[in-house]
Copies of this chain bind each other. A is one copy, B any other.
């Protein structure tokens, strides 16, 4: 079996236990690990590191593609092993440690982490830990269900640990397209002109002498935790699909739309699923992450091709797809997140980008990360890479949260991740606001009339009208602008009747 998975025989003597590999990670190191949206993370080595940290404490800077599964962030936090963490996370325990100021979290646009490493603006990893299905004759690394930042971590790190996951077939080889931009000033265009273009190699190039350990694991990705669509997420999907039909009818895009980027989560999944019954054909995805709905669309013959940096699916979907990956290889490609999210390509293709907001304000500024301006939820992820450069940047959210105590449409957002410039269309279950070409006062009218929950509409109208009386391009009453959030903190609800 080893020879099938490690085709460069000189590397066979690098096989070791996860404990041995974990012992190569030293206190104070910057560790670059595979893993993007809970797909394809190294598993055995970090879990061994957790065990070791229990008796032999250490603190590391952990850099990944995006979020990890298998409770790795939780367990590393519990043993106090994380000094710094970037660029994204979704774990409740880590989130608390971040918000308590115990872990320094550097929330980043996901295309930018390795760009900053390349320019020596943030530390390069001392060691990389990369999940793979196999190692090629040249010693190159074939990733699993995500590419993330793995290729750059391997390039930058002095030492590389490969974790071979034997639950996934070696047939994954050929699914990935590994391409890294050159160092400046010799950077050339990244020649992805269509979502399906392949411009790189099937495996991550590495000088085999950097591979200091190879570990075998049988741990699987955590399954997707997207919920089935409910009435509200379905309404959001319906509004958006009706709008896209109008766009096609008006001749602003073809019936195959533009390449779709859809964020992770329940609403996003519902929107993509909704396309199965839509009149659109020959769709393509140019996205970060593929969810179950991508495979529904593929199987329904609606989707021609999907490009992303990871595949995060339910157990059932995983069995279907990963168990028969050869059947999908001409319809899928996984790329480094720097390429899946590259402003150059997103703008060239002109994606339709659909991401989820926590809240937005009457002028269309979007908060996707900070509850009440202070507490980190997950991170901005790739939403900014896409929203800034998309042809159509859509943000979706339910109009209220926490049983109605919170309006997701507020006078002023408590934190800005995306400015109004980067939000073309906003959608809640109430309706859709098309903000293109509108001045701020006109945006406010469109948002209040279309997106706000009826329980909050009068109060927002009142705020807006009084603000307009004071004047300005973007009228605000600063002494009240954040009062809904203050009320939430003090009274548990934004509006007290």
Where the two chains meet, the residues of A that have a C-beta atom closer than 8 Å to any C-beta of B are 84, 98-101, 104-109, 112, 115-116, 119-123, 184-185, 187-191, 193-194, 250-252, 254, 258, 342-344, 347-350, 365, 370, 372-376, 380, 384, 388-389, 391, 412, 414-417, 419, 421, 424, 436-439, 441-442, 467-468, 470-476, 478-479, 481-482, 485-486, 489
Residues of B near A417 (CB, < 8 A) are 419
Q: Report whether over half of chain A's contact residues are helix, strand or loop; otherwise say mixed.
A: loop
Residues of B near A350 (CB, < 8 A) are 119, 184-185, 187
Residues of B near A370 (CB, < 8 A) are 472-474
Residues of B near A436 (CB, < 8 A) are 116, 121-122
Docked-complex contact A189 and B348, CB < 8 angstroms: yes
List 3 tightest A-B contacts by C-beta distance, closest first.
A374-B472, A189-B189, A376-B473
Copies per assembly: 2
Tell me the nearest residue of chain B to A412, going by C-beta: B373
Docked-complex contact A391 and B119, CB < 8 angstroms: yes
Q: Name the one of B115, B185, B344, B475 contacting A343, with C-beta atoms under 8 angstroms.
A: B344
Distance of A365 Cα from B414 Cα, bound (Å): 13
Docked-complex contact A349 and B474, CB < 8 angstroms: no
Docked-complex contact B189 and A191, CB < 8 angstroms: yes
Residues of B near A365 (CB, < 8 A) are 416
Distance of A190 Cα from B185 Cα, bound (Å): 16
Distance in Å: Cβ of A382 to nearest Cβ of chain B: 12
For the complex with contacts A388-B388, A478-B486, 8 further pairs of A-B residues with Cβ separation under 8 Å are A106-B437, A107-B421, A185-B258, A185-B349, A189-B344, A375-B471, A376-B474, A479-B486
Distance in Å: Cβ of A123 to nearest Cβ of chain B: 7
Distance of A388 Cα from B489 Cα, bound (Å): 33
Residues of B near A374 (CB, < 8 A) are 467, 470-476, 478
Distance in Å: Cβ of A43 to nearest Cβ of chain B: 26
Distance of A100 Cα from B191 Cα, bound (Å): 47
Distance of A123 Cα from B437 Cα, bound (Å): 8
Distance of A309 Cα from B121 Cα, bound (Å): 30
Residues of B near A388 (CB, < 8 A) are 343, 388
Docked-complex contact B184 and A481, CB < 8 angstroms: no
Distance of A102 Cα from B212 Cα, bound (Å): 68
Docked-complex contact B187 and A193, CB < 8 angstroms: yes
Distance of A437 Cα from B12 Cα, bound (Å): 38
A sample of 22 inter-chain contacts (CB < 8 A) reads: A98-B473, A101-B471, A104-B438, A105-B473, A106-B438, A121-B436, A123-B437, A185-B349, A185-B350, A187-B349, A189-B189, A189-B190, A343-B344, A344-B347, A374-B473, A374-B478, A375-B471, A375-B473, A376-B473, A376-B474, A388-B388, A416-B416
Docked-complex contact A472 and B375, CB < 8 angstroms: yes
Tell me the nearest residue of chain B to A256, going by C-beta: B185
Q: Name the one of B384, B471, B489 contacting A421, with C-beta atoms under 8 angstroms.
A: B384
Docked-complex contact B478 and A372, CB < 8 angstroms: yes
